[in-house]
């Protein structure tokens, strides 16, 4: 059975704004995660600086590098918190903080939902 993917509303908007080739790669990576695969480098790497259990999907498109932060340990499923075009060698601190805030918000929201198992 596939685990659900739950998008932060802003992350969904961010993904929709990305180039088509990148959206397709994001979809393939998320489908693999839904099926329980561990992607590993170069496609995925742990990002405990955001929060333990967060992964960074690392995708290359025709127009550059893109990143998607997701968390697979939630009862609700795979939580997608942030997607962005990476323009610097190191992930900006502001991106890490934003992903952390969104994940905390989503965890709080979904922990309150009695339908999550």
pLDDT at 31: 94
> Is the model's pLDDT at 117 over the cut of 60?
no
Give dist(CA 71, CA 30) in Å, integer: 11
For the chain, the average pLDDT equals 89
Q: In this prediction, what percent of the chain has a pLDDT beyond 70?
A: 94
Give dist(CA 57, CA 55) in Å, integer: 6
Q: Report pLDDT digits (tens) over 74-113.
A: 888 999 999 999 988 888 899 999 999 999 999 988 765 4
pLDDT at 113: 47
Give dist(CA 100, CA 106) in Å, integer: 10
- Evaluated on CA atoms 98, 106, 29, 51, the torsion sign reads positive
Give all domains of the chain, ordered by start, each with its CATH number: 5-111 (3.30.2310.20)
> Is the model's pLDDT at 116 over the cut of 50?
no
Give dist(CA 97, CA 26) in Å, integer: 22
Give dist(CA 35, CA 4) in Å, integer: 10
Letter string b/e over residues 43-65, b meaning 16 or more CB atoms within 10 A of that residue's CB: bbeebeebbeebbbbbbebeeee
């Amino acid at each position: 059975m596939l685990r659900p993917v739950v998008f932060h509303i802003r992350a969904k908007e961010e993904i929709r704004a990305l180039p088509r080739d990148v959206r397709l790669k994001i979809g393939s990576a998320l489908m693999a995660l839904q099926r329980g695969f561990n992607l590993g480098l170069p496609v995925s790497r742990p990002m405990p600086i955001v929060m333990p259990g967060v992964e960074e999907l690392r995708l290359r498109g025709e127009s550059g590098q893109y990143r998607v932060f997701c968390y697979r340990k939630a009862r609700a499923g795979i939580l997608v918190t942030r997607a962005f075009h990476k323009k610097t060698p190191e992930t900006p601190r502001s991106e890490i903080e934003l992903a952390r805030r969104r994940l905390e918000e989503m965890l709080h929201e979904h922990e309150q939902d009695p339908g999550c198992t």
